[in-house]
Amino acid sequence: MANHQGLLERLGACREAADWYDGRDSEQAWAECERGDWMLWVAGKLNVDRKVLVAAACECAELALVHVPDGEDRPRQAIETARAWVSGNATLEQVRKAASAAYAAAYAVAARAAASAADAAAYASRAKSLRRSAEIVRAHISWVVLHEAVEAVDAAERSE
């Protein structure tokens, strides 16, 4: 199977991801990656079906809801709105508005948590959440789907 290191770098992958990928073939990298955020990023850059990508991202985002204070519903509402868009029951404008509200909530929570010991616990669970999100992304986006997207990008670059 091919190594797409050059493609990954042309897409603008971060140095940490490119260094991790080095020496792996693409199928192996997809199977072994423990960073759901990297996987969502590359799937988006490769134009994987946007609704599939959003569905995976919503499930990954739910992992963070345990860190949201009771009574703060904006992050959950943003996830629900994005899921409604996936199923055709919300507009992109509704998604943008809900996402903006969720970002505001995240900023407020982060500002409060910065001085708290609970912040250390959140960092400790980050790696576990990233590994779980990688499993989620693989459940939504198979290697075959990603490979087809890579091949499409490769073909487009060859025709330029």
Q: Tell me the per-residue pLDDT of 42-68, one tens digit each, with 9 for 90 and over.
A: 999 999 999 999 999 999 999 989 888
Degrees (nearest 5) of the Cα angle 11, 16, 20? 90
Structure tokens at 31: 């199977």
**Which of the four pLDDT bands, split at 50, 70 and 90, describes residue 140?**
very high
d(CA 78, CA 96): 9
The helix (run of H) or strand (run of E) holding residue 134 is helix 118-140
Please check the confidence at residue 114 and state whether its pLDDT lies above 70.
no
Instruction: State residue 103's pLDDT score.
Output: 87
- Say which range, 29-33, 107-111, 126-130, 132-136, has the weakest mean pLDDT: 107-111
pTM score of the predicted model: 0.84
Instruction: State residue 146's pLDDT score.
Output: 93
Please check the confidence at residue 9 and state whether its pLDDT lies above 90.
no
Q: What is the dihedral sign for C-alpha 35, 149, 57, 15? A: positive
- Work out the number of other CB atoms within 10 angstroms of the CB of residue 79: 22
Looking at per-residue confidence, does 155 or 40 come out higher? 40
Distinct helix (H) and strand (E) counts, the chain: 9, 0
Instruction: State residue 106's pLDDT score.
Output: 81
Instruction: State residue 54's pLDDT score.
Output: 97
DSSP letters spanning 76-110 = HHHHHHHHHHHTTSS-HHHHHHHHHHHHHHHHHHH
Q: Tell me the per-residue pLDDT of 77-105, one tens digit each, with 9 for 90 and over.
A: 999 999 999 999 999 999 999 999 998 88
Question: Are 11 and 45 spatial neighbours (Cβ–Cβ below 8 Å)?
Answer: yes
Average pLDDT, the chain: 88
Average pLDDT over residues 5-26: 89
